[in-house]
Amino acid sequence: MVISIAFLFCTLFARLFYLQIIQGSSLSTKAAEQWYRDLPLKAARGVIYDANGKILAENKDVYSVYVRPNAVTDIYEVASALSQNLGLSFDKLYDRISTERVSEITVKKAVDKETGERLRKLNLDGVYFTIDSKRNYPEGNLLSQIIGFTNIDSVGQSGLEGYYNKYLTGVDGFAYTETDIKGVEIDGAATKYVPGIPGCNITLTIDANIQSFAESAVMDAKVEWKSKSASMIVMDCTSGAIVAAAITPSYDLNDIPRDDINLLNALTKNTLIVDVYEPGSTFKTFTGAIALENGVSEKAMHYCKGYHMVDGQRIRCWKTIGHGSQSLTDGFKNSCNVVFMDLALSLGTERLYDGLQAFGFGQKTKVDFYGESAGIIMNESSVKTVDLARIGFGQAIAVTPLQMVTAFSAVVNGGTLYEPYFVESIDSYDGRNVFTHQKKVVRQVISEQTSEKMRDYLSVVVSEGSGKKAQVEGYSVGGKTGTAQKYGSSGVAQGKYVSSFIGAAPIDDPKYVVLMIVDEPGGYVYYGSMTATPYAGRVYAKIADYLGVSVQILAPTIEMPELTDVSLADAINIINELGLYYELVGEGTKVVSTIPVAGSMIPEGDVVLLRLG
């Protein structure tokens, strides 16, 4: 008997130990779930700032509306009030409250503050509210493809909002109230709150002022040239920091076209990072730098007769009548394809490819952004001599705009390739630093001596060559223009071009690298020197002014002569006598039209376009 009683007590003790110690926490939680009803309190998402502390993404207070069916005393009244104020179906809402066997119904989220306050004043039994936050972008469409957006639950979906979502997202809190077993709130029960923890704040490398300059430039270019799109990226070449990134067409981050998925995907794509294009003559910068680094003679002369025969194929220079005898300086200034074919062929495939890979082509830059493309570069073992010649002047290779601006930065900054980045620092809501970016050197690509020589060549392009429309008095600019045909599924897409300019300033001690791209400019004027270069010049003038440098774009001082029906030879003589430069469209021997038109006032040393027929 004693043994039986002892065994019974041991069994009871073991059971009590199991319930109170082993399962105590779990059972307490279940009890709380039965006796308390809680509502989520959404933690505020972190704020996104530009480099100067300007707010680019913040939060606005909104309401989430819930109904607890067991606590509703008048279903008709509740369904009527909510449907009228929230734009919902009365019948569907009435049916949900009447029939759904759940303790709580989420009626609507992201209700504006005014509507939420109006509903709260009605004191409807069984209707509950929480104050949440909705993303707000004070600058509207500024940086829309870069910042990205969130969904209705404030979860990052694209752009930096998506890439840095884990930092921007806070820890949610909740409010809970004691209820009976049916979920009806107990009279006099107090609601207790557990506040959320806000997400981290992010400071970008973007300067909103320079971004606004870039945004204006791409919008102007798209309108003026009726182009498919236009884009610009500005980089601090001493660190890899992305200072501005503008793409048009764009969209308002506060009015996202969520109901049209195709339009949404098109407008939100960051083409500066995701898409590739054939760079054309801007790529001659890298062929030249690699040649100099490998000891190719600067004094060697090249002869351009309008084409180069390679492997039995005639590869044309853009100037079909030829440039004649050309030094390397002339080659850069006149953007002569033949000169850079010669350089590529003298380097050979192995040395040229070693150089291109050192600049990062065919590789991702590892920028802090989703969806980056590595570009397209032919397998080295498959390169034929004719391919090598074309790569030399920017054909038969595809790059991303970000790769171009990153590699060009290395050309002008002394030869150092930096990893590009958008985020400068991340800080907790209470000001503790979580992360600060340290500029990352990828590799030394070329020597300081080669870089210095390249700066001289690029300076000549702007002061004397096709880049003259980028000139800014008082703020020295160096760069390279480019024009490339686009390709479709069946080969060359007739009449479709990508026009561009890439440059650095001040060229003697570079800080800002600008790449301007105009995709498919309308009409027959498509050269980068005319459709892209002027906008880079405008941005450089605004940057200089922003920095307190006294500058001005060169003033018009020459009247454009009447050259219509004049022979090409005579037209060239007239242009040369006026100190102007020219580019040609067509292959005739007589000028049929010009841009600008006769009588226009143009800058001294400007580039004009002669259409031949």
CATH among 3.30.10.20, 1.10.10.10, 2.30.110.10, 1.20.1560.10 for 556-613: 3.30.10.20
The stretch 354-375 carries a mean pLDDT of: 97
Position with higher pLDDT, 351 vs 20:
351
* Residue 186 · residue 30 · CB < 8 Å: no
Read off the pLDDT of residues 307-357 as tens digits, 9 standing for 90 and up: 999 998 999 998 888 899 999 999 999 999 999 999 999 999 999 999 999
Give the predicted TM-score (pTM) of the model.
0.82
Helices (H), 173-283: 208-225, 261-268, 271-274
pLDDT at 152: 82
DSSP-derived 3-state class of residue 56: strand
Strand partners, 482: 500
pLDDT at 63: 85
Position with higher pLDDT, 204 vs 528:
204
Count of beta carbons in the 10 Å neighbourhood of residue 598? 12
Structure tokens at 429: 């809501």
d(CA 294, CA 277): 27
Phi, psi of 510 (to 5 degrees): -60, 140
> How many angstroms separate the Cα of 196 from the Cα of each of 171, 172, 173?
5, 4, 4
The stretch 78-105 carries a mean pLDDT of: 88
pLDDT at 461: 96
* Residue 447 · residue 493 · CB < 8 Å: no
* Residue 154 · residue 196 · CB < 8 Å: no
Structure tokens at 68: 């607890």
Which residue matches tokens 């970008």?
Answer: 204
281 is catalytic: yes
* Residue 302 · residue 341 · CB < 8 Å: no
> How many angstroms separate the Cα of 596 from the Cα of each of 115, 412, 559, 593, 606?
57, 32, 10, 9, 10
d(CA 540, CA 545): 9
The stretch 4-22 carries a mean pLDDT of: 60
Q: Tell whether the model's pLDDT for residue 187 goes beyond 60.
A: no
Q: Tell whether the model's pLDDT for residue 237 goes beyond 50.
A: yes
Radius of gyration of the chain (CA): 33
| The CATH number of domain 208-554 is 3.80.10.10 | no
pLDDT at 507: 96
For 37-200, which CATH superfamily applies?
Penicillin-binding protein 2a (Domain 2) (3.90.1310.10)
Position with higher pLDDT, 355 vs 255:
355
d(CA 167, CA 428): 9
The stretch 411-439 carries a mean pLDDT of: 96
* Angle of CA points 42, 43, 47, to nearest 5°: 130
DSSP per-residue string spanning 480-497: EEEEEEEEETTEEEEEEE
Position with higher pLDDT, 134 vs 276:
276
Q: Tell whether the model's pLDDT for residue 205 goes beyond 70.
A: yes
**Catalytic one among 133, 158, 250, 281?**
281
Burial (Cβ within 10 Å: 0-12, 13-18, ≥19) of residue 523: exposed
Sheet of 591-595, strands arranged across: 581-585, 607-612, 591-595
